Every structure is written in C-alpha cells, then in structure tokens.
Amino acid sequence: MRKLARARNLVAKQMQMAIDDIIGNFELLDDWEDRYRYLIELGRTLEPLPKEAYTEANKVRGCASQVWLDTKIARDDKGQKLLIFHGDSDAHIVRGLVALVLALYSGRAASTIIETDAAPLFAELGLAQHLTPQRANGLRAMVERIKSEARAAA
C-alpha cells in the first residue's frame, strides 16, 4: 500500500514538473506558429485512450472539436482523493490543449483541482489572445468539466 502511495506522489510531482516544463518551453518560443507546433507535439505525447473511453458520457460539451476526458479516482497515503485524467481530441491543436490541461490537473487532489485557477496560466502563455473563440470556449469547457469531476469526488 505504501508503494502505491509513493508511486502516486511521484506521479503528482512528475506532472508538476511537466507543467513547469511546458511553461518554460512556451517562454522559449516567440513565434505563435512555433507555439502551435509545440501544442501539436504535446498532443502527440498523450497516452491513447482505450476504445471503451470514447463514450458520450466522456465527451466534453462546449468544444467545437470532439474531446473526451476519462476520469479515474485514486487515493493518496492520507486517503485524499486524487483524480487521474486521460483525454483525447480529434483535432491536433486541441489535443495539445488537452495535454496542457491534463498536465495542470491530472494526478492532483480534488481540493487542489477545485482551487487551481487555469486562467492566469492561459493568459501567461498567451492562449487567451491567440486561440479562436471556439478553441478558447472549448478550453474553458475542459477545465470546467475537470473541476466538476473534482467537486463530485470531493
């Protein structure tokens, strides 16, 4: 049981490093064409969803592209609920946005997810100014879906 808890803590730390790495990489890229390419590359790093996860229940409403989020709940060594998210999209850039959102939220405690405001990060990365209104709405829908899952788990 302790090994499982340590593994979960390690996953959470790796996820935090991943979001920090993503932010750092975005800061290195001045050109938005390069940032879009980077988002596409991020999307390619997502683990494939199992076929059974492509359900209506896992579909994120409010996205112009199709987006699926699959949620699993685990517990850390203190019994706190951790939410593990996996996702996919049928659009390359949106798939990258899914990877970004998962790096920010997956593997975190429900309470942390609820408290984490993604808007400042999105503004810092310049996403608010450079995404189409449909993609920006989809991004907000993904975050709201994740927070909704966290509220239900809390």
Catalytic residues: 63
Token duo for residue 75? 């517990």
Distance separating alpha carbons of residues 82 and 72, to the nearest angstrom: 8
DSSP string, 109-141: EHHHHHH---HHHHHHHTHHHHS-HHHHHHHHH
Distance separating alpha carbons of residues 134 and 140, to the nearest angstrom: 10
Residue partners of 28: CB distance under 8 A and separation at least 6: none
